[in-house]
Amino acid sequence: MSLAQTDKYYLPQPSLWPIIGSVALLTMAVGGVMAMHEINHGLWVLLAGVAVLFFMMFGWFGEVIRDSEAGRYNKQVDSSYRWSMSWFIFSEVMFFAAFFGALFYTRVLSVPWLGESDTMQQLWPTFKAAWPTAGPGLTADGLKFTPMEAWGIPAINTLLLLSSGVTVTWAHWGLKKNNRMQLILGLGMTVTLGVVFLCLQAYEYHHAYTQMGLTLGAGVYGATFFMLTGFHGFHVLVGTTMLIVMLLRSIAGHFTAEHHFAFEAVSWYWHFVDVVWVLLFILVYWLI
């Protein structure tokens, strides 16, 4: 269907979606701040913003998909998408780098500093620096928690995500061979693995909060643990959602063996999320 490639560059028409997106973010930000400061209806404003954002995404992506299926994107556009997706993933890498940096800094630098020489003698005389910790002040106030063990759910989750990397690649092979059954099956399995991962992580969080005393407030260990795994989990959620869209589009007959960058972009993203998880597994769960 998208064989009708043109040599002319496709310039999209004026679009209302961006400004709708801006309104959505403004509403979300104002609502979020209201909610954080317990101002009436803050949460509703936030949700309204989210709803507008979803509306925008449906509309905008829908338009892009229609353009694509109508064959308006030539080779050059395709290659633009490749560049931009790569740079986008690079920006995500740097976002995670900030949090990995925080983990490194606290583990290797600030926690040891708190437990040695003048800082310890003058300010935190009873503190014994060791990782994991909730920090000298909170421990002194009686805060106790159990660190998360690597070889339970996290190990299973590692297996799940690694296998999902395989299944998505297998789906890609199917697509390239024009084997639509393999594509749909592979995507279906990937989505399932992603969903199971998310459920297990939700269970793990629940367990941490209710049984282990491990919360966001449990010092730097809790903070880095939840922020890193939390942002990762959020990325899995986004990735899974995108995979579901790809699944639906595959079922609807979109994509051809040559022309399927949307699928590839999602699989790149998924592999990226995978790699982050492996790092998390090693640095957050395993080497404590």
Q: Single out the segment in contact with other proteins by CB under 8 A; choices: 47-55, 72-80, 145-153, 262-270.
A: 72-80
In whole angstroms, what is the distance from residue 258 CA to residue 278 CA?
31
In whole angstroms, what is the distance from residue 86 CA to residue 111 CA?
36
Residues 21-40 touching other proteins, rule: CB under 8 A, are 21-22, 25-26, 29-30, 32-33, 36-37
- Which of 92, 280, 287 has the alpha carbon at shortest distance from 201? 280
* Rounded least distance, CB 189 to other proteins, Å: 31
Interface with other proteins (CB under 8 A), residue from 95, 173, 203, 234 = 95
The 10 Å CB-count burial string (b at 16+, else e) for 162-190 is eebbebbebbbebbeeeeeebbbebbbbb
Interface with other proteins (CB under 8 A), residue from 47, 50, 53, 138 = 138
Residues 151-180 touching other proteins, rule: CB under 8 A, are none
Q: Single out the segment in contact with other proteins by CB under 8 A; choices: 130-138, 184-192, 256-264, 274-282.
A: 130-138
Q: Single out the segment in contact with other proteins by CB under 8 A; choices: 19-27, 168-176, 232-240, 279-287.
A: 19-27
Interface with other proteins (CB under 8 A), residue from 55, 57, 61, 119 = 119
229 binds other proteins (CB under 8 A): no
Cα angle 65, 68, 73 (rounded to 5 degrees) comes to 145
- Which of 253, 263, 280 has the alpha carbon at shortest distance from 1? 253
Q: How far is CA 95 from CA 22, 91, 165, 201, 232, in A?
A: 22, 6, 22, 21, 11
137 binds other proteins (CB under 8 A): yes
Total length of the chain: 288
Q: Single out the segment in contact with other proteins by CB under 8 A; choices: 132-140, 175-183, 241-249, 273-281.
A: 132-140
Give the residue with the Cβ less far from other proteins, 140 or 282. Answer: 140
